[in-house]
Chains A and B, each alone.
Chain A
């Protein structure tokens, strides 16, 4: 049976990689890939010398770093807190409510957020009623709010869902350890810090390595639905750039080249995060 899986992998994951060579060719969709002329590193040079390059990288790394910094520890904290709830009913309710937004698509959520954040939206109404601001602010029309909106809405949407994997890890901790600790007089906080956290540390490490390698990935759907011409200077990330300059202009070779650059950097990041983690605490992906 494993053979079937390997064949599937080869057909659907490895064979399509052949298409990557169009990054080095001037490919046009009316002719097959093999007939396209070679252009070497022309598209890579074009990307690295594009006046937008710096801004695009800044936005991508900035948004991802914020998501990592705030969005990574929060689900762990949330899972720890959920674990301490004693009422099963209440715990289930909190869990369900917190991961429901995960199932809404960004297209739907984007429309909702656009309305909420507009001049006459609910956010402005509340802040004005509380006298925090005097004039309504159109949050999506100002680049300086964009990173915050993207990071916060992403955390709100994914918090509950991301916590599930930690809850599963916590469920696997041997209850006898907690009992022993209680007898030795450990408080709740002590048990959390000295038993639960060390027990789920491998899970945290692995997820952290994966998160670091994904730092050049931004949430494409989310940014596409929230961006507009006014916040473009803060919302142009690599994926959007590939979509605009590659796919929309039918420049598939260019899109592939930029995508390839991104994948290579992501792979290097993965390797280094993996290496550091192996040295520091003996946990690694491979």
Chain B
């Protein structure tokens, strides 16, 4: 693993020393090269939605965890969550990967108040208060607030203010303006048991047109179309944005820095874009699919040891070791609760990078982290992040049943879906930059036409089928 105290402790305890191969460039290409050359590392961790997962399973490059466990380590079945195993069970009856940050529907209800959604709409506190805390839930209120912010605070420390910040524009669109915005508008993902096309929902289109109008009024800085994550983080740390549709955990470090400079200049969550009924948003929480899944490759030399190590990592013992580290060194029982020592917690809050290097706890190694189990050891969230977290409480719902319904890879549906996504990625900025609502409608209809040409029907059929399968799995 590394030089930090936690990995030294784990190595001492289990005798396992991990050599991480972290792809320097595009992770997908790196994995493809590994698959094509037929040489895979012992463990592979990647996003569950990645095409590589399907490829490795279909190509027989990874081992079924259930078989390994029966043969070498029945303890695995004691620590693994049967619902998660069922969720990842393939048509051949085997399970090849185990997820992290995953929440079963049962756990989801138990933990949603403790661990709410990550999706927030935030504004800079001082500017927002100086404007008289305007209501930003309606298109009119939203545009008006941006306009006032730009007029009253044209610059921040000599640099122009950016009225609205979004996640970065990519080849396939913009996270802030798709599911994220649709969740804020509480647009359902299914109607009468069938998938609903959220993209063509009138409420959604109304808001996209609002963002177009914002551009017409000169309220979009060109930066937002061009900047990548690194440039955005820098601008957030300078407090250059007035409002942002941005995941709260993605700017925690920057918000902390702002808080240290001036507690009034931080970003706070407020009610943002809403539908015409002003319904509360339905934000996404942890899904059953989780974030990444970890697989064991068939090239693994010591299979027994691999599955035992995996069991250890997902067990409560392993989770505690990776979260808290070694007793007496990084944590202690303080006031009857196992928690980080004060100096450790202090570094964690101040400088995460230094913390990772020195202590390596708090899931520096997150590959199998159980974000529900963690809550019993976690320190309470401190300001400025607490306000953001509190805001999302009561607005979080589970979209688990819609996970993994998008076709991937080089199947016909996968290619169609990818082409549609790329076409959308080109259309979305054009929609925002359109000179009039008529031009917007024209571009949007052109996109729908192209979507059909690329084979949207095939994609929809695939999604519907997967969705029905998921429903059965979850209801079981």
Contact = CB atoms under 8 A, between A and B. Distances in A.
Contact of A29 (B32, B418, B419): B32
A229 B61 contact: no
A233 B160 CA distance: 28
Interface residues of A, number: 25
B20 to A, nearest CB: 23
Contacts, number: 69
B453 to A, nearest CB: 8
Contact of A229 (B58, B409, B426): B426
B425 interface: yes
A230 interface: yes
B336 to A, nearest CB: 52
B422 interface: yes
Contacts of A51: 450, 453
A81 to B, nearest CB: 37
A250 B33 CA distance: 11
B206 to A, nearest CB: 23
Contacts of B29: 247
Contacts of B425: 229
B1 to A, nearest CB: 30
A282 B328 CA distance: 85
Nearest to A28: B410
Contacts of B428: 229
A119 B410 contact: no
A120 B160 CA distance: 9
B221 interface: yes
B59 A31 contact: yes
B422 A138 contact: no
B352 to A, nearest CB: 25
B81 interface: no
Given A249-B415, A250-B32, A250-B410, A229 B422 contact: no
Given A29-B36, A140-B226, A119 B28 contact: no
B429 interface: yes
B55 A28 contact: yes
Contacts of B61: 30
B191 interface: no
B426 A232 contact: yes
A51 B452 CA distance: 13
A48 to B, nearest CB: 15
Contacts of B59: 30-31
B410 A251 contact: yes
B197 interface: no
A30 B225 contact: no
Nearest to A30: B59
Contacts of A138: 222-223, 226
B169 A30 contact: no
B169 A229 contact: yes
Interface residues of B, number: 35
B159 interface: yes
Contact of A250 (B51, B223, B422): B51
Contacts of A114: 226
Nearest to A138: B222
A245 B36 CA distance: 19
B344 interface: no
B171 interface: yes
A30 B409 CA distance: 12
B222 A251 contact: no
Nearest to B34: A29
Interface in B44-65: 51, 55-56, 58-59, 61
Interface in A218-252: 228-230, 232-233, 244-245, 247-251
A30 B428 CA distance: 35
A28 B54 CA distance: 12
Contacts of B51: 250
B32 A119 contact: no
A74 B438 CA distance: 46
Contacts of B169: 228-230
A118 interface: yes
Contacts of B300: none
Nearest to A31: B59
Contacts of B429: 229-230
B280 interface: no
A276 B184 CA distance: 64
Nearest to B37: A29
Given A230-B226, A244-B171, A120 B426 contact: no
B409 A250 contact: yes
Contacts of A167: none
A141 interface: yes
B181 to A, nearest CB: 17
Contacts of A28: 55, 410
B35 interface: yes
Contacts of A245: 419, 422
Contacts of A251: 410, 415
Given A30-B35, A30-B59, A119-B223, 10 more contacts: A119-B222, A120-B159, A138-B223, A140-B226, A229-B170, A229-B171, A245-B422, A248-B28, A250-B410, A251-B410
26 contacts: A29-B55, A30-B56, A30-B59, A30-B61, A118-B223, A119-B222, A119-B223, A120-B159, A138-B223, A228-B169, A228-B225, A229-B169, A229-B170, A229-B225, A229-B425, A229-B426, A229-B428, A230-B169, A230-B226, A230-B429, A230-B433, A232-B426, A249-B410, A249-B418, A250-B32, A250-B51
Interface of A: 26, 28-31, 51, 114, 118-120, 138, 140-141, 228-230, 232-233, 244-245, 247-251
Interface of B: 26, 28-29, 32, 35-36, 51, 55-56, 58-59, 61, 159-160, 169-171, 221-223, 225-226, 409-410, 415, 418-419, 422, 425-426, 428-429, 433, 450, 453
Closest 4 pairs between A and B when the two form their complex, measured CB to CB: A30-B59, A138-B222, A29-B36, A141-B222
